[in-house]
Amino acid sequence: MITDRLDICYARDKKNYRALATGLRELDARLLDGEETLVLDAKTLEFGDGFAVETNAGILGCLSAPAGAGRFLELIQGASEMVVGSGPITVAALEDVIRLKRASGRPSDLVELEILAALREEIEYARRPSIGGRLLGRQLSTFSSDERGKGSAPTTRLGEHEVKFDKVGEWSELKIKIVAEYAQPFSTILKAQKGFTRVYIDAFSGPGRHISKKSGEFVPGSPLAVLAVSPPFDEYHFIDLDQGKLDELRRLVGPRSDVKLYQGDCNDVLLSEVFPTIRYEDYRRGLCLLDPYGLNLKWEVMQSAGRSQTIDMILNFPVADMNRNALWRDPTKVSADAKKRMTAFWGDDSWSRVAYTTKRGLFEEFPEKEDNETIARAFRKRLKEVAGFAFVSQPLPMRNSKGATVYYLFGASQKEVGVKIIDSVFKKHAQGRKAR
């Protein structure tokens, strides 16, 4: 479908206002409705929200928060790249365009809705594996329809590195929502206190978006979800081992000076580069998400966050990975390496006494494994008594579609209000089933 008007959604940061102002100047842009004499410079753009201009290339709509579709950071999550003219441009997902047109309510947009709905049907039809899916898939998105279902993680190439997107279950989508729902009051409360620098740290950041197992569509990862929180943090620190994922994250976020990316093992990066900058006496306060796949987080990191007195933490406590590797029914069969990794996460070997009780049989004593909740409760005690967090939430079990606990989430803070908020966010999202 070809229209005679182009709409763009722009990110709200100073660098981008300057870039947009330069582009508008080059196109000899004049406001379509409004004061002809108004100069469209970076300052003016910062105070506006949306406007339409006539340029020597046609009509251009510029919106920072298109009704019905969210802001730039929300739109970009579903967007894909297309080559138009001489270079690639990022194009909003069809679903978002439909939402936007519906919300605008302008007669011309409502007419286009019919056409867009028909286009969506065509695409859905073409995606069916037996028909045109293989032909159309890659043009529609960064991965083909075949890759959307079960199977290996879809990948896309970005510069030198390949990005492997995770396919995430509903419990991961919920986790990301929970993190954003805590980040928002955290940032609001600190902002109201004046003088504090608010720092968000995402230590196992991932690429900023994942593929939902449920819908097959892109969904925001924790970095993008927190970047969309208002009021924004003053600094964002994202760490990942995988350079391809960081390249994707940088592409999504753009060249912002308040967003710093680190490639490396977060256990080292946090202790040597990030945490030492969040000092109490400098009025800097942090919210740190520790979201490992499994036992690859070290206790020193959690302890350092607790002892800093400046960092709130949301922790993914990977109980399923612990059960798979170290907390076997028969502890004598657990490998030395798995025990070592468990000890590195737990901070010492006291986990082996927590995880088993001694039972008396007819002829001998034998160890019996404790349930997940006992292990999570013992870890909560350690976060308070050993790591030094004054307040730690109750563990929130995150369950898969079969009701089994994949991991627990903990929130920890030096402030009672912090944990009261996280407990209420947890309560709101507690999944109804009984823990297993």
Ligand X SMILES: C[S@@+](CC[C@H](N)C(=O)[O-])C[C@H]1O[C@@H](n2cnc3c(N)ncnc32)[C@H](O)[C@@H]1O
Q: Return residues touching ligand X (CB under 6 A).
A: 176, 202, 204-206, 221-222, 239-242, 245, 265-267, 291, 293, 296
**8 Å CB contact between 288 and 179:** no
The nearer residue to ligand X, 7 or 74, going by C-beta atoms, is 74
Tokens of 346: 């737990």
Nearer to ligand X, 289 or 375 (CB): 289
Contact between 205 and 288 under an 8 Å Cβ cutoff? The reply is no
Q: How far is the CB of 138 from ligand X (least distance, A)?
A: 24
Query: Residue 106 is which amino acid?
Result: R
140, 113, 108: which is closest to 125 by C-alpha? 140
Cβ nearer to ligand X, comparing 222 with 393: 222
Closer to ligand X by CB, 170 or 242: give it: 242
Compute the least distance from the CB of residue 436 to ligand X, in Å.
Answer: 22
**What's the CA gap between 233 and 141, in Å, rounded?**
31
Continuous segment of H or E residues that includes residue 91? strand 87-91
Rounded to a whole number of angstroms, the minimum distance from the CB of residue 316 to ligand X is: 7
Smallest distance, ligand X to C-beta of residue 361, A: 41
Q: SS3 of 167, please?
A: strand
Vertex 268: Cα angle to 161 and 384 (nearest 5): 125
Tell me how far, at minimum, the Cβ of 270 lies from ligand X, in Å.
9
Least distance to ligand X, CB of residue 292, Å: 6
Q: Which is nearer to ligand X, 265 or 423 (CB)?
A: 265
Shortest reach from residue 177's CB to ligand X, in Å: 10
Among 205, 407, 250, which residue's Cα sits nearest to residue 318?
A: 407
Cβ partners under 8 Å of residue 67, min gap 6 = 100, 103, 104
Cβ-based neighbours of 180, under 8 Å, separated by 6 or more: 222, 225, 226, 228, 229
Cα–Cα nearest to 431, from 401, 410, 411: 401
**Least distance in Å: CB of 276 to ligand X?**
18
- Identify which of residues 274 and 421 has a Cβ nearer to ligand X in the complex: 274
Gap between the Cα atoms of 326 and 331, Å rounded: 8
Select 266 or 302, whichever has its Cβ closest to ligand X: 266
Calpha distance 155→160 (Å, rounded): 13
The nearest distance, CB 429 to ligand X, in angstroms, is: 15
Q: Which is nearer to ligand X, 96 or 291 (CB)?
A: 291
Instruction: Report which residue's Cβ sits closest to ligand X.
Output: 221
Nearer to ligand X, 58 or 276 (CB): 276
Closest CA to 126 of 137, 141, 115: 137
Q: HSE (CB half, 13 Å, CA atoms) of 143?
A: 23
Q: d(Cα 406, Cα 175) in Å, to the nearest integer? A: 12
Q: Which is nearer to ligand X, 352 or 400 (CB)?
A: 400
CB of 74 to ligand X, least distance (A): 15
Distance set, CA 409 to CA 101, 248, 314 (Å): 39, 26, 7
383: which residues sit within 8 A by CB, 6+ positions away?
Answer: 302, 306, 315, 389, 392, 410, 412
In angstroms, give the least distance from the CB of 164 to ligand X. 8
What's the CA dihedral at 8, 13, 18, 21 to 10 degrees? 30
The residue among 93 and 398 lying less far from ligand X, judged by its C-beta, is 398
